[in-house]
Amino acid sequence: MTPNVAFPSLTERQIETLSKYAKRRHFHHNDTLFQAGVSPATFFVVLSGAIEILDHSGDEPRTIVVHEPGEFTGDIDILTRRVTVVSAVARGETDVLEVAPADIRRLIAEDPGMGDVILQAFIARREQLLESGFEGVRVIGSRDSRDTYRIREFLSRNQVPMRWLDVDTDPGAAELLRHFGVDAEALPVVVCTGQPVLRNPSTRDLAQAVGLKRAIGTEVYDLVIVGAGPAGLAAAVYGSSEGLTTLLLDADSPGGQAGASNAIENYLGFPMGITGADLTRAATLQAQKFGARLSTPAPVTALEDEGSHLTVRMDDGETASARCVLIATGADYRKLDVPDRERFEGIGIYYVATKTELDACGGADVVIVGAGNSAGQAAVYLAQHTRKVTMLVRRDSMRQTMSSYLIDRIEAAPNIDVLYTTQVRELHGDTRLESVVVENTATGERRTIDTPAVFTLIGAIPRTDWLPAQIDTDPKGFVCTGRQLANTPGWTRKRQPFLLETSQAGVFAAGDVRLGSAKRVAAAVGEGSMAVKFVHEYLAELREDPQPELTTNVPVKGLAAL
């Protein structure tokens, strides 16, 4: 018989191992052990009696499983520290072992045998739950609403199970609104199990409701990582697995630019390619498994040197203290320079091409602006799900800017049209984007294309406007590190800066934000991992000499000098 990976029965020996971390508790028949949307996810091992796990996200409660003696509760939310998405109720007089989430994380890290059994069960349970019709958070709103898009995008990028009910086409939406007594003016609304209905919530309130945003506390972290793209995630995995107290902050969601890719085909070890969402899901879980803390949304607005430590300040005034900081804020999408662009953002102008945007444009003809690899990937993906894709390319060729494998696929696709020397000039629409006027800059000819979606993939600029003046950047804003700091007046240590160290000792930079970086997932992951080695060296230095002698007279040796 094949072992049940999702719901294994623990051996007596495994229960004995767990009991070292556990306390014994007793529940009466019908007692609630934890409640969806309210309690943190909790790990109980059934010793006698039973625990029924219930899904309340649909219209009627539904039994997912009944845990018998030897089985345990919990899923990946124990690692992500979010509130639980299901409820647990005792069936009969029930004795359990309760293990605190922090101890489960410790056990998974310290005991690979037990860790595998528990982790595999957590992952398999979440997969089964999603496949079983679990609705999760329900979002009711119109496809023509920018706030509906904001909410759906935030939930989906943060991998919160969600169902969208389009108020214009889904008959169930009106029924639900009546059920909750919500007027159409309050749309979009969000329904989370066990909580009051949220009427057009701010992203922060939504994050709090689904357990993404948590208090950071006053401890001084060994490492605070700003930005949870591939570079930040890699640093979080290595930092936390090597015993550093690690906090990972992201303005929006983990994954960064890579998280928006539908097929990363050149990342080592994935011959069939991997989606950015899958890579992000696995990396986030891996970092949290080792104890890294993640908080979103947490847009960092300032970095301050307090002498004894560094302070990272967020837009709501919340702060995090750190011995070392890693700048991994990557790059932001370049925007179209065309009138009314802002008015149509989220309702026709998009910067990524994923299922969320596809749902919003309903399979109609779409336009892509750009000729880089991200534009090429988007064209190939969108061509599979829409009638027609029109690519607008500023130059007369894509050969200098796009990989040849993508050009070959675009040329082979019957429903992709490429218009060279063409730019967007006007955007039109009433409640959402309906058409664009484009101009052939070689001939001056203008034409109108009817479309509900323009995907703008025209490169990126570094996200460094939050950095203080003492962090050196090049004129474009990319952060200088290591030997790039030659002749900087900002460097004040007697030693030379480490390879990924910025002009402020103890502050490092990795990934796309760094001057001269390769702008690839693998390179960002490599730099994020490597930065942790320098964090260790810096912390060792700090332990030896908490107040190192400073000097302004030791110039950094540039490349030419070495």
Ligand X SMILES: Cc1cc2nc3c(=O)[nH]c(=O)nc-3n(C[C@H](O)[C@H](O)[C@H](O)COP(=O)(O)OP(=O)(O)OC[C@H]3O[C@@H](n4cnc5c(N)ncnc54)[C@H](O)[C@@H]3O)c2cc1C
Applying CB under 6 A, which residues contact ligand X? Answer: 226-232, 249-252, 256-258, 260-261, 264-266, 298-300, 328-331, 373-374, 377, 463, 466, 511-513, 519-522, 524
Cβ proximity to ligand X: between 39 and 403 the closer is: 403
* CB 6, min distance to ligand X, A: 31
- What does residue 454 show for φ and ψ, rounded to 5 degrees? -115, 115
Smallest distance, ligand X to C-beta of residue 231, A: 3
Nearer residue to ligand X within complex by CB, 118 or 260: 260
CB nearer to ligand X: pick between 84 and 158: 158
Strand 198-199: give its sheet, edge to edge.
Answer: 162-166, 137-141, 189-191, 198-199
Amino acid identity at 180:
F
Q: Minimum CB separation from ligand X for residue 104, in Å?
A: 27
| Side-chain half-sphere CA neighbours of 117 within 13 A | 18
In this structure, what token pair is assigned to residue 487? 């002749």
Q: How far is the CB of 243 from ligand X (least distance, A)?
A: 23
**Does residue 152 sit in helix, strand or coil?**
helix
Tell me the closest approach of the beta carbon of residue 402 to ligand X, in angstroms.
12
Nearer to ligand X, 234 or 347 (CB): 234
DSSP symbols for 467-527: S-TTS-B-TTSPBP-GGGGTT-TT--BSSPPPTTB-SSTTEEE-GGGBTT---SHHHHHHH
Quote the CA–CA distance of 298 and 249 in Å, as a whole number: 6
Closer to ligand X by CB, 271 or 307: give it. 271
Enter the tokens of residue 136.
């999760």
- In the complex, what is the shortest distance from the CB of residue 527 to ligand X, in angstroms, rounded to a whole number? 8
Which residues, 6 or more positions from 425, have their beta carbon under 8 angstroms from its beta carbon? 338, 437, 438, 439, 446
Q: Which is nearer to ligand X, 136 or 370 (CB)?
A: 370
Closer by beta carbon to ligand X, 115 or else 477: 477
| Residue among 163, 161, 126 nearest 141 (CA) | 163
307 versus 317: smaller Cβ distance to ligand X: 317
Q: How far is the CB of 405 from ligand X (least distance, A)?
A: 11
b/e code 226-247 from CB counts within 10 Å (16+ = b): bbbbbbbbbbbbbbbbeebbbb
CB contact at 8 A, 135 and 57:
yes
For CA atoms 140, 145, 147, 151, the dihedral sign is positive
* Least distance in angstroms from the C-beta of 505 to ligand X: 21
Sign of the CA dihedral running 425, 429, 430, 433: negative
Tokens of residue 202, six digits: 């701010």
Query: 343 is written with which tokens?
Result: 């008015």
Q: How far is the CB of 486 from ligand X (least distance, A)?
A: 23
Nearer to ligand X, 380 or 485 (CB): 380
Helix (H) or strand (E) holding 186: none
Q: Give the phi and the psi of residue 292 in degrees, each rounded to 5.
A: -65, 145
Residue 493 backbone phi and psi in degrees, to 5: -95, 160
**CB of 227 or CB of 452, closer to ligand X:** 227
If the CB atoms of residues 191 and 251 are measured against ligand X, the closer one turns out to be 251
Q: Which is nearer to ligand X, 200 or 296 (CB)?
A: 296
Nearest distance, CB of residue 242 and ligand X, angstroms:
19
Span between the terminal Cα atoms of the chain, in Å: 64
Q: How far is the CB of 83 from ligand X (least distance, A)?
A: 23
- Residue found under tokens 């000098």: 561
Work out how close the CB of 117 gets to ligand X at its nearest, in angstroms, rounded to a whole number: 32
Q: From the CB of residue 372, how many other CB atoms can be counted at a distance below 10 Å?
A: 18
CB of 466 to ligand X, least distance (A): 5
Q: Taking the complex as a whole, how short is the minimal distance between the CB of residue 496 and ligand X, in angstroms?
A: 24
Closer residue to ligand X, CB minimum distance, 114 or 314: 314
- For ligand X, which is the closer residue by CB, 14 or 284? 284
Separation CA 479–CA 305 (nearest Å): 17
**Count of alpha carbons within 13 angstroms of residue 218, beta-carbon side:** 0
DSSP strands (E only) in 35-186: 43-55, 62-67, 87-99, 137-141, 162-166
Q: Say how far apart CA 389 and CA 411 lie, in whole Å.
A: 12
Q: Do 424 and 336 meet the contact criterion of CB atoms below 8 Å apart? A: yes
